[in-house]
Amino acid sequence: MSELPLKPRTQKSRKAATMAVAGGWGPGFIVKLILMALIDAIGIFGVIQAWRAGSTTILVVAIILLLVVNYVYFARRAIPGKYLVPGMVFLLIFQVYVMLYTAYVSITNYGDQHMGSKDAAITAIQSQHTAVAPDKDPYAIVVLQKGTDYYLATVVDGEAEYGTSDQPLEALDGATITDGKITAVDGYDIVKPDRDNWDTLQTLAVPLSDDASQGFLMTERNGTQAKVYLPTVRYDKAADTFTDTETGLVYHDGGKGQFVDDAGKKMPGSVGWRAVIGFANYKTIFADTKMMVPLLKVLVWTICFAFLSVATTFFLGLILALVFNSPRIKGQKIYRTLMILPYAFPGFMTALLWKAMLNRDYGVINKWIFFGAEIDWLGNPWLARLSIILVNLWLGYPYMFLVCTGSLQSIPSEMMESARVDGAPPLRQFRSITLPLLFIAVAPLLISSFAFNFNNFNLIFMLTGGGPLPGTGSDTKIPGATDILISEVYRLAGVDLGTPDYGLATALSILIFVLVGAIAAFSFRQTRKLEEMA
Amino acid sequence: MKRLVAVAVVALGLTAGLAACGGGDKSGSGGESTTSAEATEEATVSADDDNPAADPADADDGNPAAGSYDCSDASQIQGEITVWVDETRITALQPAADLFCAEQGVKVNLIQKVFDDLRKDFASQVAAGSGPDITVGANDWLGEFKTNGLVAPIDLSGVADQLSPAALGAFSSEGQAYGVPYGTENIALVRNNALISETKATTFDELIEEGKAVGQKYSVIIPMGDAGDAYHMYPIQSSFGAEVFETDAEGDYTDTLAMGGEAGHKFAEYLAKLGQEGVVKSTITGDILGQAFTAGEVPYVITGPWNTSTWVASGMDISVLPIPSAGGEPAAPFMGVQGFYLSAKAANAFDAETFLVDYLTRADVQLELYKLGGRMPANLEALADPSITDDPVAKGFAEAAGDAQVQPSIPAMNQVWSPWGLTEVAIADGKVTDPAAAWDEMITNIETAIAENAG
């Protein structure tokens, strides 16, 4: 750690510093104490909640963060940390964690048929493969409880028998039988199913005998009757396999989130789970020409769209800013306010409005401006692209207008004056003084605007939905004419079809992230040159 | 040191405060921190309301003991369940929810969601271990829910004889029920009697001619929209004999498409013709259909009970008729069944199942849902209610159902809807020159998608 350069201290600041070192109770310290106490309270509350919910990761992270924050703000040495820690914490939670999680999902097959955990999948397979035995009468039963264990007890040939999931029905001692029903059992409580024990009772399946094919008993919600169920598959916990009770076929964990037979074929009626499948998703993207070729086309349009959006909005914004910066214009403020109105409405609402206005048959654009001509603004690929750019111009120019106005006003008037004195014509003044100075201030914003439009999902989704689709559009994975990468990712994710593939979609998102990151890094390097020039 | 103690004390105090605010977890059903005011209130309530903690007697009737609870008193609530519904059903379910709370002491949280979001939100949230206990939904979601293990089987054997077998079958798979059906729906031809009072047409072409003769803006409207609407087109398609899937010996759908070939080509050509006539267009959505019909701009529309109930309520004179055949065979619409699914990860499966099996299957509950949604009850007693049997609109829909086919709920259906609708848009809007070729392309694409997904 390098020492911070020490500035000469004033009398007052030296006094404050001594106070802090001495641990005084100045007003600053009290404010800090209250703030830290609040943060600690929220943190400890979070720790307690994480403990209750049993999520170890959050628990550990919360404790570490709490300790770090407290150390930084109460130790005297960690001065740079005091400035950096809040930002770092938020960066960790909202950026780094999200990125790592996305990267993790991209190496799994999370999606349709692979939604939950393996345990949940096994439970689901078992419950889906359990049918009521058609020719067997239900048993009259009681539910017994001893400590935290539950048992089903019934009367077979006048004798009380009981059992659990692991222990088939066997003789039960100490039962009182009245009218063929068990009314009391020594050492056990007769209980009713209720909302607290139901989860346990639903897993209580008592085999009728050692021969599992005889079926098993499961209590109904009233706790007095149990039907005989026959499993069509049997799960072997030790071997982690399912066996079909009719055919005897054995299905094992195929490593891809499904139970499969020896030939690798999926078990009929199987439920999958989320499994790590390595780089298979990335391989699909690069190896499958059916996916790669359309994606490259989409990439070209995405870059065109982002570039044109920035260019058009910037130039319109700049021209308007120049015009309204002139002191000769009256009512500057009113115009400026009107100018930023499109910026004040939520973007997705504006996009929806434009979608309605551009409707071929009912839209006002065709009706009023083109006298009822049936121009298919959003149905023709090139017109749709044009519409997207124009609507984005409407949405984006106020921002550029604001930014340009701001930086124009910050250009020192002496510079312009000296240029004028030197006899430079207005165009030369603009090109040699205004524009370079403007660019220094605006260039980083242009880059961020590019990155924003590169992923401008809202506009595309709300205005065209990526369409028009090529041909009949019946291949749901092929992108439409206005699909940008992120909207194509959404299409491939298949959420709307009910067959989502989050693994593939996140793999694509990671690629987009790398791409945008590279473009931004390159552009920032270029702007540095710009600064040097000036 | 002193400072550390100060920080610790303040932090602990605040934590305690926060914990008290957020302490709404499900661990205790009453809670031990009854304040004196609550305690007295409870005492007075139990004094004049004999014993709210009803004894668990008479278990032989199969139902858990029904007590009587005052649901406005938080201390009497024993538990709660969460049910997702859309805006069209939330009002109709409130009486059932109140009754359940009064009899079982379990609060039903009805959460209103947009119908289109129900399916994907249920899928993603239940998979993550959260989500509601119960959601309302259509029978064709079953395939996705079941293959992902999102819904739990329900034992409906006790109430099966009260429900329509077709509706029950639509929510069952391989002999197990996965949902409680409450209403069946199908589309029909709806006529605005103010424009035309008699329909002589026996074919769809004649119907278009009749509609044209009325001289309004449109002759007949079938809704479509940007993404297509294969559901509303299906009666036309099935009248050409192009059924969506093949069925096996037991009448269950298989994964094999049956809408290709000659029959499919004929339908595709006819669809192109309908597009030229202006009967179907991607710009005509369900909303535009509604506006045009209420404004008297169209004599005939193809729509379902969700629209007619509002039209009748607003005082329009309408008739509901079977859809005339376009291709020679009967125009069979899909029969959709609406019902309630039980989440496989329900936080309170016990009460949720009680609500589903013992309350939502009841005739009065289903009749209430019929009154507000117009869907035919699945409960047979409710179906025989005079308010339905004497209703001409309901009768019209029942007749139009004719030999309606149950909307497939197999997982492969997911691969069909979107390409199907989009292809119909391309054909109707005249974007493709050869409708039959476009139809073949669609069949190939759907078959590939089904094969990929099954693998």
Label residue B35 by pLDDT band (50, 70, 90).
Answer: very low
Label residue B267 by pLDDT band (50, 70, 90).
Answer: very high
Q: What is the pLDDT of residues A128-185, one digit of tens each?
A: 888 888 788 888 888 999 888 899 898 888 888 898 888 888 888 888 888 888 888 8
Hey, what are B23's tokens? Answer: 């302490």
Task: Give residue for tokens 């669609």.
Answer: B442
B107 in contact with chain A, both atoms CB, cutoff 8 A = no
Domains of chain B as residue ranges with CATH: 71-185+337-389 (3.40.190.10), 188-332+410-454 (3.40.190.10)
What element of type H or E holds A338?
helix A332-339
Q: Which CATH class is domain A287-533?
A: mainly alpha
Looking at the predicted structure, is the pLDDT value of residue B418 above 50?
yes
What element of type H or E holds B377?
strand B376-377
Q: What is the pLDDT of residues B342-384, one digit of tens each?
A: 999 899 999 999 999 999 999 999 998 888 878 889 999 998 8
The minimal CB distance from B149 to the residues A120, A471, A498 is found for: A120
Tell me the pTM: 0.76
Q: How far apart are CA A508 and CA A102, in angstroms?
A: 10
Q: Which residues 167-186 on chain B approach chain A with CB closer than 8 angstroms?
A: 174-176
Cα-based distances in Å from B378 to A168, A384, B392: 40, 46, 19
Instruction: Give the long-range contacts of residues B285-293, CB within 8 A, separation 24 or more.
Output: B285/B223, B285/B224, B285/B225, B285/B226, B286/B223, B286/B225, B286/B229, B288/A362, B288/B223, B289/B221, B289/B223, B292/B217, B292/B218, B292/B221, B293/B190, B293/B192, B293/B221
Q: Cβ of B149 and A37 within 8 Å?
A: no
B316 in contact with chain A, both atoms CB, cutoff 8 A = no
With vertex at residue B24, the alpha carbon angle to CA B22 and CA B30, rounded to the nearest 5 degrees, is 140
Q: How far apart are CA B31 and CA B45, in angstroms?
A: 18
Q: Cβ of B14 and A221 within 8 Å?
A: no
Hey, what are B212's tokens? Answer: 């044209």
Q: Is the dihedral of CA B47, B49, B50, B52 positive or negative?
A: negative
Q: What is the pLDDT of residues A461-492, one digit of tens each?
A: 999 888 788 777 777 778 888 999 999 888 88
Label residue A18 by pLDDT band (50, 70, 90).
Answer: very low
Instruction: Give the long-range contacts of residues A192-197, CB within 8 A, separation 24 or more.
Output: A192/A143, A192/A222, A192/A223, A192/B56, A192/B59, A192/B64, A193/A143, A193/A219, A193/A220, A193/A221, A193/A222, A193/A223, A193/B350, A194/B350, A195/B29, A195/B78, A195/B79, A195/B106, A195/B348, A195/B350, A195/B351, A197/A145, A197/A150
Looking at the predicted structure, is the pLDDT value of residue A317 above 70?
yes
State mean pLDDT over A353-363: 86
Looking at the predicted structure, is the pLDDT value of residue B109 above 60?
yes
Name the fold adopted by A130-231. Answer: Periplasmic binding protein-like II (2.40.430)
pLDDT of residue B60: 40
What is the domain partition of chain A in residue ranges? 24-106, 130-231, 287-533
Cα of first residue to Cα of last residue in chain B, in angstroms, is 66
Q: How far apart are CA B235 and CA B285, in angstroms?
A: 18
Q: Which residues 203-222 on chain A approach chain B with CB closer than 8 angstroms?
A: 220-222
Q: What is the pLDDT of residues B127-142, one digit of tens each?
A: 888 889 999 999 988 9
pLDDT of residue A412: 84
**B204 vs A269, which has greater pLDDT?**
B204
Please, are residues A112 and A500 in contact by the beta-carbon 8 Å criterion? yes
B261 in contact with chain A, both atoms CB, cutoff 8 A = no
- DSSP state at residue B284: -
Looking at the predicted structure, is the pLDDT value of residue A321 above 60?
yes
Q: What percent of chain B has pLDDT over 70?
A: 85
Q: Cβ of B59 and A222 within 8 Å?
A: yes
Q: How far apart are CA B117 and CA B278, in angstroms?
A: 31
Q: What percent of chain B has pLDDT over 90?
A: 40
**A157 vs B6, which has greater pLDDT?**
A157
What element of type H or E holds A182?
strand A181-185
- DSSP state at residue A360: T
Q: How far is A450 from chain B (nearest CA, A)?
A: 30
* Helix, coil or strand: residue B339: strand
Q: Which residues 463-492 on chain A approach chain B with CB closer than 8 angstroms?
A: 465, 467-469, 471-476
Q: What is the ipTM of this complex?
A: 0.74
Hey, what are B261's tokens? Answer: 């070939």
User: Chain A contacts of B141, Cβ < 8 Å?
Assistant: 498
User: Chain B contacts of A360, Cβ < 8 Å?
Assistant: 283
A48 in contact with chain B, both atoms CB, cutoff 8 A = yes
Per-residue burial over B212-223, b if 16 or more Cβ lie within 10 Å, else e, is eebebebbbbbb
pLDDT of residue B343: 94
B66 in contact with chain A, both atoms CB, cutoff 8 A = no
A67 in contact with chain B, both atoms CB, cutoff 8 A = no
